Chain A
Amino acid sequence: MTTQAQLLPGTLDLLILRAVSLGPLHGYGVLLRIEQISGGALLIEQGALYPGLFRLLRQGLLKADWGTSENNRRAKFYELTAVGLKRLQEETDSWNRLATAIASALAPQPEEI
């Protein structure tokens, strides 16, 4: 458990967008996909996924439709909209900038050595 990192506030939305950008998924599928692409390194409370999904749905970044899952159960499938794709790119860029900045700030500086 300790190997898993807590999510930073606001990053769940980005992860959901990223997960869904690889193809339509139902809620549980989103969870599995995030686990898979993060290499199981991130801890997400399962139910907390849904307020995030609905928030994105309401902002028009996702669209949803009922369908049948691979387990033959009824499930709601989420898909990225054009706006959602654009937002994903923007957020990814800004995250990368932030991460680079933080990483370089935290990296050992020459004078420290």
Chain B
Amino acid sequence: MRLIDSLRSFVSTLFHRAEIDREIEEELRSHIQHRADDLERGGLPRAEAERRACIEFGGYQRLKEESRDALGGQFGEGLLQDIRFALRRMAKKPGFAIVAILTLTFAIGANAVVFGVLNAFILRPLNVPQSESLYGLWRLPGDMSESYPDYLDLRDRNHSFESVAAYNVMQAALDTGSDPSRAWIEETSGNYFDALKLEPYLGRFFHGSDEHGPNSAPYIVLTYDYWRSHFQGDPSVVGRVVRLNKFPYTIVGVGPPEFHGTLIFFNPDFFVPIVNHAQFDETDLNNRGNRWVFMTLGHLKAGVTPAQAIADLNSVGASLEKAYPKDDPKMRFKLARPGLYGDYIGRPVRTFMTALMLLAGLILLAACANLGSLFAARASDRSREIALRLALGSSRKRILRGLFAEAILISLVGGAVGLAGSVALLRALSVWQPISRWPLRMSVNPDVKVYAVALFLALASGLLFGAVPVGQVLRTDPYEAVKGGAVETKRGRFGLRMSFRDLLLVVQIAICAVLVTSSIVAVRGLANSLHNNFGFELKNTMLVETDLNMAGYLGDKVPPMQKRMIDALAAIPGVETVGLGDQVPLGDTQPDSNVFTDSTTDLRPANAATNSIMFKISPEYFQAAGTALVSGREFSWQDNKDKPRVAVVNRQFARKIFGTEAKAMGAYFKLPEGARVQVVGIAEDGKYGSLTEDPQPAMFLPILQSPSNSAYLVVRSSRNPEQLALAIRSTLRNLDAGLPVYIQTRFQTLDAALFGPRMATISLGVLGVMGAMLSVVGIFGMASFSVSKRLREFGIRIALGAQRRELLQAALGRTFRLLAFGSAVGMLLGLAAGKVIAFIVSQATPWDPIVLGGVLVTMLLLGLLAGWIPARRALATDPLLLLREE
């Protein structure tokens, strides 16, 4: 009660100080006037009456102050005094204040950044109305994709969803009259925007009623961002006709500003109706077996639980299973959140972010341990002052309040600076496009939750480390100061406190060693994985991405154009070989196909021998890509439609289907459409989907026998990449000026595959460096405190002829023993953490002499760095000076 009262009066005092002063003044004056009135009535002239009244009243200023204090000014005044005193003390020892504030700045900043990312990816719901009831349909076991006919059946036959929408990710060439540019689009079902309950910013959306069969709805809805960046926010864009893959489309509207599609990691440029799919890709809209639609999603009806919805979907699935046993075996569902593609991206992101949050929390804890022991050291430096103040009648409460004021002041300043830094970093992250050819934007802009968390952490850590010296102050005995001796608390307690501080230091060093170990493991793993054998050559390779579809090449016009592109690029001086593939390893998508043994006759999916990644490639692709053939032959231009089907498979494929590589050569397997394919060559294994994957079966088919209009040209040349890119661009422009071309070195194309490991490594590295800095401060603080405590002892030792080595041992031995112990604990924990890191960064193993040695050397260097100045101070002790001082 009293606390609340005094807080309230403190706050009102702060804000109404002037007003209160004015009121007190008025009241006192009124008193004097009343008194003067009486005196005047008694016969005195007015002026004399007022003078007398004033004198009778007493010391006006003093009484005014006392009145104000009585009204509750005391607490506020006291706090202001505390703050002023704390500021003065900090100004007197700016080094301490700066170190403390910097420590907290980094610790709280790191926490705010990690929390900001965690908040944006996991805690913050998608930017659509009522996102809590929005679910995606997850087809067990694998993923969220469906074929278009299945989607229609699910949409029309379920009773649980308000409406089910579908979308697919696609690229298209947008021609607004000048240069055609490549854009990332989402093909969506007509009901997409209505199902998501969105309202257009401009114009209108397309609706289910706009769909009248294939290619019936040539409409574009732009995202707000794309409208701003590519149409300069021009409102007259609605109604404009543009060309998309050479087909005329009308821009009908612009989406709401906060809407970036329903995938957090993918921000499309615009939306087109999925019924126009034939104008973007050759997959057949009506093929029930081909699950190319990326995701289906919708809002659950009010009152329907997820379990009910799953049962409902499963019953629809069961009836589809019965009707289409060949295409729809085992249709079982669960519900998944659409934003991070269910658990597919969601789980690793959640796991990693949680782990990172934990590490960041540890950093803050280490920082608090650090500052706590610094504060305790300072308080014991000030023990004489504190004892004197106690002896002079100050209350312990008042002294503690002063200490806490200092701690909280430091933590608030540190928190504010840290927050400012992290906001800047988060803003930069939000506009950063980490993968140049993929519209990935991490909208991690901080919101009010981030600010609140930072403030809370600042206050909490201030209270935490401010609380460390409390016991010390409470135990201080004022009589000691009066007696005049060195003020020290009693021996036994002294020992206890030291060991608590030792514990703080050990904990802090252990945390630091964990972080250092993790970051070295991650960095080393990343470096290793870059020197790995991917099953293709990274050096001297350019990847040229074109899309013939976008340029209007369809059907029979595709193969000749592909041949012309290969020949034209091969003719560029300095180019050794050119190959073409419908996709490349570690590229955007990895189309796969079921594979059957030759003896299988019933080609339903359940009978498949395996599922294999499928590349459709030109002759010379292997040479251009740098993929080695283990045995057999490459394709030639003679492997065309008129010849028997052939394939090159990788070793994993050979082992999985045929048992051994030897048996595979010349043997046959079957594809789902029934074709018998003969194995004519075996290629080395490679990485296809991700760097961390286990060996996957893969097959390579001649592009003339299984045509594809998607085309990546692999160009092998030792020429300078920039010049080469220019030459390639002009060569292709000569062939067809309307062909969208995208050129990167093979290294750059790995950005997407390396994004996760890189982010993991960077964040661990940053935390590692911060942990290292913290322990330097901690060790330094501890060592210099123990040295300054024992300076007199050292002086005597020197006077008695102690050697430098003995002196050093006495000064720093304990600190270094703690360092060794903490490092050992931390390294053991770090070895365990290394296993977690291996999930994200391939080849990350802590059982590596370089890693272990690196950690040891790092910790030793940190210790030396931190112990240097205290050691110098101990050695430089001048016994005469010290003795004279006494």
Q: Give me the interface of A with B, judged by CB distance under 8 Å.
A: 26-29, 31, 45-52, 54-55, 57-58, 69, 71, 73-76
Contact = CB atoms under 8 A, between A and B. Distances in A.
A58 B34 contact: no
A50 B20 CA distance: 14
B27 interface: yes
A76 B30 contact: yes
B71 interface: yes
Interface residues of B, number: 26
Interface centre among A28, A50, A69 (most CB of B within 10 A): A50
B31 interface: yes
Given A46-B56, A46-B57, A47-B58, A27 B31 contact: yes
B26 interface: yes
Q: From DSSP, what is the main secondary structure of chain A's interface residues?
A: helix
A46 B35 contact: yes
A27 B27 contact: yes
Given A51-B70, A58-B71, A73 B63 contact: no
A74 B69 contact: no
Contact of B58 (A48, A54, A57): A48
A49 B57 CA distance: 10
Given A47-B31, A54-B68, A76-B27, 6 more contacts: A26-B34, A27-B27, A48-B63, A50-B28, A51-B69, A75-B34
Contact of A71 (B24, B34, B67, B71): B34
B37 interface: yes
A45 B67 contact: no
The 6 closest A-B pairs by CB, nearest first: A47-B63, A47-B58, A28-B34, A54-B70, A51-B66, A51-B70
Contacts of B9: 58
Contacts of A71: 33-34, 37
Contacts of B68: 54
Nearest to A54: B70
A50 B34 contact: no
A28 B5 CA distance: 28
Q: From DSSP, what is the main secondary structure of chain B's interface residues?
A: helix
Contacts of B63: 47-48, 50-51
B72 interface: yes
Contacts of A46: 31, 35, 56-58
B58 A45 contact: yes
A71 B5 CA distance: 36
B421 to A, nearest CB: 43
Contacts of A55: 70
Interface in B21-56: 23-24, 26-28, 30-31, 33-35, 37, 56
A58 B71 CA distance: 6
A27 B66 CA distance: 16
A74 B28 CA distance: 11
B60 interface: yes
A64 to B, nearest CB: 9
A75 B26 CA distance: 8
A53 B150 CA distance: 84
A73 B34 contact: yes
Contact of A73 (B33, B56, B57, B58): B33
Contacts of A69: 30, 34
Nearest to B53: A46
A71 B72 CA distance: 31
A27 B68 CA distance: 16
B57 A75 contact: no
Interface centre among A26, A46, A71 (most CB of B within 10 A): A46
Contacts of A49: 31
A90 B33 CA distance: 35
Contacts of B70: 50-52, 54-55, 58
B59 interface: yes
A57 B37 CA distance: 26
Nearest to A74: B30
A52 B63 CA distance: 11
A75 B58 contact: no
B3 to A, nearest CB: 14
Contact of A47 (B5, B28, B30, B37): B28
Given A45-B58, A47-B60, A48-B63, A74 B26 contact: yes
Contacts of B56: 46
B30 A58 contact: no
A31 B71 CA distance: 20
